[in-house]
């Protein structure tokens, strides 16, 4: 390959086609809100999110090209750009902001207002986009041959496959519809139990699985390795740690519980021990995993930041053709200044002008790191949680040193951490989208405008989603455990001096260090310890399906790739479908409407409300996934 030969995109620079149109903006905003809400629900349930870029690309192609009969690939690209911004902003917000609701539930302070949530998310999102604009020439153009940006390249390939766009969109919509039906049956109508459990009463262990399509979809997408690590973490928690606590401390009353362990087990089974003790061990392991990830990435972080700054010194391209036009630096600088002033003057973010400037400086550093690292290793491996943990610890220590203690200091630390977390998430998403546009021949300034539109739409929606889920279920509930936000809350409380079961947390630290010594990935195992084993087992089901499909020896690699693509798109649809129905059920719960109270359901429950009914639903979910992957249209392809 001749690196001196200029890159030629799919749409030449001298050709103008529709891009940032009213249609693309409206469809993109809808997808931004939908994927943002669905990913918020997923992240609050399982502690991780999945990239919406590829399903957004598929849906944008299906909607623009097939349903609306419009034949502009760059218009579809704008829809994908706006749509994926919602998922990234939600991912950044849900890791931190629910902690504020948790403190309010404990009688410490008040819930954040919708305005506060919107402003915090908006400041982080806009800065994430603004910081990526001057980096585009350095990272996307100059290092095109060395930074692959996996998700961005994959989205370009999806959009280029115009002939397949319609059928692929059908797969995503099918996943959404079928998943919505299963979610309605399990959690809406409550025709079957949501879990299949078996408890070993003699020594306190429990094993089982939940019955949810989104969890199976997550397992299929992340693959068998990550799924198995999470499942192992669940087994350690529920079949090792809980039995040890139960067998050796039955008559003891150990903080944070105020009752004996035997009484906890009698009242709530293994889940009582898990919620009072094992969660803190998992939190210690997750925090340690975040630090290990950050420490291991630190040399790369410093190197990539230095390389990005050197590349920027080379100046922008002298050409002013369509594919080289970024948003004006005057607009970017004005936006950064205005956002800095908002951070300084907004009461929910308790910093002075110097503090606001430091947030912006640290935000630019993490944006640069995030943008470059996703180009190397993809968005999945971007250590956003590690960056958030580091930011929270630093901001908490700084606020405490200035005399801001108690709930005021804790909420301030969460607000600062939220801004940084959103900046890192949005910068990574923006860089992936700009890579897609670079390959396709999009106009950068129009994509950057689309990113801003997506951020604004998602920022105004995320507050409503958080309030809705909190009102309907409550964070830290079985439906919405909010694991990452709980972790951030524990860290801030610990640093501010509130009581924490440090002994349990240090057990988690020791376990995480053991996993690292054994060269095992700490974070997925730690998340597995923190979450219920039933949830991890359901994710493992999806991972096993993926493993079995890839292990087949009598099928060509081409057919496997096509079937896996169908399976991934179907699972992305399942995740979105369950998330949307979960939010719809939350709306009904707020208005005290319960579809499970319909009278004709009682005779049905008499037959299905048992483990057999749950097993049948689980089997049907698995069969639906096989139908759209293993037995799909691509099976016959050669």
Dump pLDDT digits (tens) for 356-380: 887 888 888 878 877 776 776 556 5
C-alpha span between 224 and 48 (Å, rounded) = 16
Q: Please answer whether residues 77 and 447 qualify as being in contact, where contact means their C-beta atoms are separated by less than 8 angstroms.
A: yes
Q: Which residues have C-beta within 8 Å of that of residue 433, sequence separation ≥ 6?
A: 53, 80, 81, 84, 85, 152, 155, 447, 451
C-alpha span between 50 and 59 (Å, rounded) = 16
pLDDT in the model for residue 40: 86
pLDDT in the model for residue 318: 43
- For residue 256, say if its preceding peptide bond is cis, omega within 30 degrees of 0: yes
Identify which of 188, 316, 274 has the alpha carbon closest to the alpha carbon of residue 478.
274
Q: What is the pTM of this model?
A: 0.75
Angle between helix 522-530 and helix 279-313 axes, rounded to 10 deg: 140
For residue 208, the cross-strand partners are: 197
Identify which of 186, 197, 206 has the alpha carbon closest to the alpha carbon of residue 479.
186
What secondary structure, in 3-state letters, does 341-385 show? HHHHHCCCCCCCHHHHHHHHHHHHHHHHHHHHHHHHHCHHHCCHH
C-alpha span between 48 and 40 (Å, rounded) = 9
C-alpha span between 428 and 152 (Å, rounded) = 10
Take residue 93 and report the two structure tokens written for it: 């917000």
C-alpha span between 87 and 35 (Å, rounded) = 5
Q: Please answer whether residues 525 and 227 qualify as being in contact, where contact means their C-beta atoms are separated by less than 8 angstroms.
A: no
pLDDT in the model for residue 309: 63
For tokens 């260090």, the residue is: 513
C-alpha span between 177 and 42 (Å, rounded) = 17
pLDDT in the model for residue 121: 93
C-alpha span between 231 and 224 (Å, rounded) = 10
pLDDT in the model for residue 381: 52
pLDDT in the model for residue 316: 45
Quote the Cα angle for 196-198-201, to 5°: 150
- Widest CA span of the chain, in angstroms? 78
Identify which of 332, 588, 612 has the alpha carbon closest to the alpha carbon of residue 452.
332
Positions in the chain whose pLDDT score sits under 70: 1-5, 47-52, 66-67, 150, 161-167, 294, 297, 300-301, 303-305, 307-320, 373, 376-386, 498-499, 632-638
Where would I find the beta strands (DSSP E) of 48-193? Answer: none
Identify which of 25, 38, 36, 34 has the alpha carbon closest to the alpha carbon of residue 64.
25
Quote the Cα angle for 26-31-35, to 5°: 155
Domain ranges, ordered by start, for the chain: 22-174+322-379+405-486
Q: Cα dist. 21→26, 87, 201, 446 in Å?
A: 9, 22, 62, 10
Q: Which residues have C-beta within 8 Å of that of residue 600, sequence separation ≥ 6?
A: none
Count of CB atoms situated within 10 Å of the CB of 561: 13
């Amino acid at each position: 390959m001749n690196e001196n030969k200029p890159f030629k995109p799919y749409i030449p620079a001298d050709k103008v086609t529709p891009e940032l149109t009213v249609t693309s903006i409206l469809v993109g905003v809808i997808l931004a809100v939908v994927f943002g809400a669905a990913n918020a629900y997923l992240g609050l349930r399982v502690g991780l999110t999945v990239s919406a870029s590829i399903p957004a690309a598929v849906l944008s192609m299906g909607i623009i090209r097939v349903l609306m009969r419009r034949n502009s690939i760059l218009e579809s690209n704008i829809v994908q750009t706006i749509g994926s911004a919602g998922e990234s902003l939600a991912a950044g917000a849900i890791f931190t902001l629910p902690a504020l609701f948790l403190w309010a539930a404990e009688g410490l302070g008040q819930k954040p207002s919708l305005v506060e949530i919107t402003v915090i998310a908006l400041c982080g999102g806009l800065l994430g986009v603004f910081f990526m604009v001057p980096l585009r020439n350095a990272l996307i153009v100059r290092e095109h041959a060395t930074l692959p940006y996996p998700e961005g390249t994959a989205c370009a390939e999806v959009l280029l496959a115009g002939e397949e766009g319609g059928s692929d969109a059908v797969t995503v919509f099918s996943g959404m519809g079928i998943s919505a039906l299963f979610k309605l049956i399990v959690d809406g109508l409550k025709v079957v139990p949501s879990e299949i459990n078996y408890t070993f009463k003699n020594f306190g262990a429990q094993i089982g699985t939940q019955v949810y399509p989104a969890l199976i979809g997550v397992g299929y997408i992340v693959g068998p390795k990550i799924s198995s690590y999470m499942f192992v973490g669940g087994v350690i928690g529920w079949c090792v740690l809980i039995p040890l606590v139960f067998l050796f401390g039955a008559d003891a009353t150990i903080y944070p519980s105020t009752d004996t362990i035997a009484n906890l087990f009698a009242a709530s089974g293994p889940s009582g021990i898990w919620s009072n003790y094992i969660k803190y061990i998992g939190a210690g392991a997750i925090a340690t995993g975040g630090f290990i990830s950050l420490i291991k990435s630190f040399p790369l972080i410093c190197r990539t930041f230095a390389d990005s700054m050197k590349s920027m010194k080379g100046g922008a391209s002298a050409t002013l053709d369509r594919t080289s036009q970024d948003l004006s630096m005057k607009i970017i600088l004005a936006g950064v200044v205005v956002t800095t002033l908002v951070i300084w003057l907004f009461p929910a973010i308790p910093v002075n002008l110097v503090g606001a400037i430091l947030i912006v400086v640290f935000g630019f550093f993490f944006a640069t790191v995030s943008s470059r690292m996703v180009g190397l290793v993809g968005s999945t491996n971007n250590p956003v949680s590690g960056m958030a943990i580091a930011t929270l610890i630093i901001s908490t220590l700084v606020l405490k040193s200035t005399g801001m203690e108690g709930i005021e200091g804790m909420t301030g630390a969460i607000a600062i951490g939220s801004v940084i977390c959103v900046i890192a998430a949005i910068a990574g998403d923006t860089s992936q989208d700009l890579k897609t546009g670079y390959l396709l021949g999009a106009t950068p300034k129009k994509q950057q405008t689309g990113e801003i539109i997506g951020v604004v739409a998602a920022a105004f929606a995320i507050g409503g989603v958080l309030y809705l889920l909190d009102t309907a279920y409550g964070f830290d509930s079985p439906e919405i455990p909010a694991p990452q936000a709980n972790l951030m809350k524990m860290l801030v409380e610990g640093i501010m001096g509130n009581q924490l079961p440090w002994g349990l947390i240090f057990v988690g630290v020791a376990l995480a260090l053991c996993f690292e010594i054994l060269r095992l990935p700490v974070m997925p195992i730690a998340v597995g310890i923190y979450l219920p084993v039933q949830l991890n087992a359901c994710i493992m089901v999806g991972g096993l399906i993926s493993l079995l499909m890839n292990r087949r020896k009598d099928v060509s690699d081409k057919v496997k790739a096509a079937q896996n693509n169908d399976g991934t798109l179907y699972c992305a649809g399942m995740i979105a479908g369950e998330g949307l129905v979960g939010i719809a059920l939350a709306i009904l719960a707020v208005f005290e409407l319960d579809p499970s109270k319909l009278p004709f359901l009682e005779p049905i429950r008499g037959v299905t409300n048992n483990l057999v009914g749950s097993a049948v639903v689980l089997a049907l979910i698995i069969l639906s996934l096989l139908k759209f992957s293993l037995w799909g249209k691509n099976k016959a392809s050669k």
